[in-house]
């Protein structure tokens, strides 16, 4: 009969492995859910990448530790490129969270180049190998025993890449690191705690490797699960958490003003002319860069002026003008369709128009028209 402690340990290991497998498939569902959102934005694609990568990594991790991976040797190392994809995706996620109106561009695709290179290298060295050869690789890949130099170098390269993006992420959120802010701003406190947990998770990961302890590594995986899913869970409890956090970061960011030497009143007057008289908001391709060029200032300076003086972000400012114009058109041109009105004020789709109109007026365009025509 096996000792009770051994049986309890096996039960704990099995339970954690099952949790990781469940979390993996749940992550796949969340990734798919982000792609099914109407009017998808960059934000949705980035979150989808994060959850998909995390799902692949968690599944591979659970199968490796419980010994099942040897029964499916062709799954070996499949998750490695995704370790290189998840960190730049997480960095862009933080960048969008702390910077108003930031959208990834083609240059940011370079962040994912190491993952692509990793995949290309793995094709001839691992992926095309036979099941027997991959099982031999697995034997070399025991925890803390990297007998194969290629496996060791791959692990070091991936860890270095993760550290690089962790540093970049810390730099982007540098406005957080103040005892006064953390003490008085609850959102900063949440992010700070998540950062501490992330650092703790990496320390535990290193300890588990040096001690060759699969139990510690399994416990570490639960901590990583909590870190990844906490922002997702908080978004249900606090639907506006991302927007509020972005506003808080912007306030701290703009304390060191970039608008010294600029006649702000003159900028605001010209901005008002562009929107109210020239109605540049009717251009569906309008963005902060094109407006800042018209004002002959940088996009960062314009963003600061809008946030500090008008107390909204650039996207909200555009939508406010568009909806104000739409309200007039809905009444003055009652024969026009809702879609025609949406296009006339700068929206690309009826859905986007309805969502923005509902958010600002608490009613749909059709409801607004019906209600106001009734009293006119």
> CATH no. for residue 105?
1.20.1070
pTM (two decimals): 0.62
**pLDDT value of residue 253:** 58
Confidence class of residue 186 from pLDDT cuts 50, 70 and 90? low
Q: Cα-Cα-Cα-Cα dihedral of 163, 18, 133, 78, to 10°?
A: -50
Confidence class of residue 144 from pLDDT cuts 50, 70 and 90? very low
176 domain residue, yes or no: yes
* 342 to 7, 77, 316, 354: CA distances (angstroms): 65, 49, 16, 8
Mean pLDDT of the chain: 79
Confidence class of residue 143 from pLDDT cuts 50, 70 and 90? very low
**pLDDT value of residue 250:** 59
Considering only CA atoms, which of 363, 319, 362 is closest in space to residue 342?
319
Is pLDDT at 353 greater than 80 in this prediction?
yes
Residues 320 and 201 in one domain: no
Residues 284 and 235 in one domain: no
Residues 271 and 221 in one domain: no
Is pLDDT at 240 greater than 70 in this prediction?
no
**pLDDT value of residue 197:** 80
Percentage of the residues of the chain whose pLDDT score is greater than 70: 79
**pLDDT value of residue 324:** 92
The two structure tokens encoding residue 291: 């407006």
Confidence class of residue 206 from pLDDT cuts 50, 70 and 90? confident
Residues 29 and 130 in one domain: yes
164 domain residue, yes or no: yes
Residues 155 and 293 in one domain: no
**pLDDT value of residue 28:** 92
| Dihedral angle sign, alpha carbons of residues 85, 88, 93, 94 | positive
Q: How many domains are contained in the chain?
A: 2
pLDDT digits (tens, 9 = 90+) for 247-280: 666 555 555 556 666 778 888 888 888 998 889 9
Residues 336 and 239 in one domain: no
pLDDT digits (tens, 9 = 90+) for 315-347: 889 999 999 999 999 888 888 899 999 999 999
**pLDDT value of residue 325:** 93
Of 3-7, 15-19, 39-43, 336-340, which gets the smallest average pLDDT?
3-7
Is 14:66 a contact under the CB 8 Å cutoff?
Answer: yes
Residues 201 and 278 in one domain: no
Residues 239 and 275 in one domain: no
> Last residue of some domain: 251, 285, 303?
251
90 domain residue, yes or no: yes
Residue partners of 261: CB distance under 8 A and separation at least 6: none
259 domain residue, yes or no: no
The two structure tokens encoding residue 106: 């083609």
Is 162:118 a contact under the CB 8 Å cutoff?
Answer: no
109 domain residue, yes or no: yes
Residues 196 and 220 in one domain: yes
Domain region containing 332: 266-374
Residues 215 and 88 in one domain: yes
3 domain residue, yes or no: no
The residue ranking higher by pLDDT, 347 or 231, is 347
Residues 54 and 167 in one domain: yes
Considering only CA atoms, which of 311, 312, 314, 319 is closest in space to residue 360?
319
Residues 201 and 89 in one domain: yes
Q: What is the CATH number of the domain that holds 275?
A: 1.10.10.60
Of 40-49, 72-81, 186-195, which gets the smallest average pLDDT?
186-195
| Dihedral angle sign, alpha carbons of residues 225, 231, 234, 239 | negative
**CA-based Rg of the chain, rounded to a whole angstrom?**
26
337 domain residue, yes or no: yes
> Last residue of some domain: 195, 224, 251?
251
The residue ranking higher by pLDDT, 145 or 199, is 199
pLDDT digits (tens, 9 = 90+) for 66-75: 878 888 888 8
260 domain residue, yes or no: no
> Last residue of some domain: 222, 251, 280?
251
Distance separating the N- and C-terminal Cα atoms of the chain:
87
């Amino acid at each position: 009969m096996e000792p009770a402690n051994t049986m309890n340990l096996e039960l704990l290991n099995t339970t954690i492995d099952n949790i990781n497998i469940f979390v993996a498939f749940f992550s796949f569902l969340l990734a798919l859910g982000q792609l099914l959102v109407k009017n998808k934005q960059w934000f949705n694609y980035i979150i989808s990448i994060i959850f998909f990568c995390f799902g692949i990594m968690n599944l591979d991790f659970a199968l490796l530790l419980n010994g099942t991976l040897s029964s499916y040797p062709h799954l070996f190392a499949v998750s490695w490129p995704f370790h290189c994809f998840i960190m730049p995706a997480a960095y862009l996620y933080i960048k969008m969270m702390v910077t108003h109106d930031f959208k990834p561009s083609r240059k940011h695709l370079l962040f994912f180049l190491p993952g692509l290179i990793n995949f290309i290298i793995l094709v001839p060295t691992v992926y095309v190998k036979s099941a027997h050869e991959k099982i031999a690789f697995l034997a070399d890949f025991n925890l803390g025993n990297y007998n194969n130099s290629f496996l060791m170098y791959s692990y070091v390269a991936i860890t270095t890449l993760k550290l690089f993006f962790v540093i970049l992420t810390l730099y982007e959120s540098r406005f957080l690191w103040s005892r006064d802010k953390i003490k008085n701003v609850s959102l900063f406190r949440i992010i700070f705690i998540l950062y501490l947990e992330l650092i703790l998770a990496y320390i535990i990961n290193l300890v588990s490797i040096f001690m060759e302890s699969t139990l510690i590594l399994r416990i570490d995986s639960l901590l990583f699960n909590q870190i990844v899913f906490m922002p997702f869970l908080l978004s249900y409890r606090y639907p506006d958490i991302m927007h509020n956090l972005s506003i808080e970061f912007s306030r701290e960011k703009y304390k060191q003003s970039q608008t010294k030497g600029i006649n702000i009143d003159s900028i605001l007057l010209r901005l008002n002319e562009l929107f109210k008289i020239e109605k540049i908001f009717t251009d569906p391709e309008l963005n902060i860069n094109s407006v800042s060029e018209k004002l002959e200032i940088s996009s960062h300076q314009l963003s600061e002026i809008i946030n500090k003086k008008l107390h909204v972000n650039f996207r909200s400012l555009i939508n406010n003008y568009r909806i104000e114009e739409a309200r007039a058109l809905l009444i003055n041109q009652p024969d026009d369709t809702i879609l025609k009105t949406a296009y006339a004020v700068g929206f690309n789709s009826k859905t986007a128009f309805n969502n923005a109109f509902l958010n600002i007026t608490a009613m749909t365009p059709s409801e607004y028209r019906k209600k106001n025509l009734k009293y006119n």
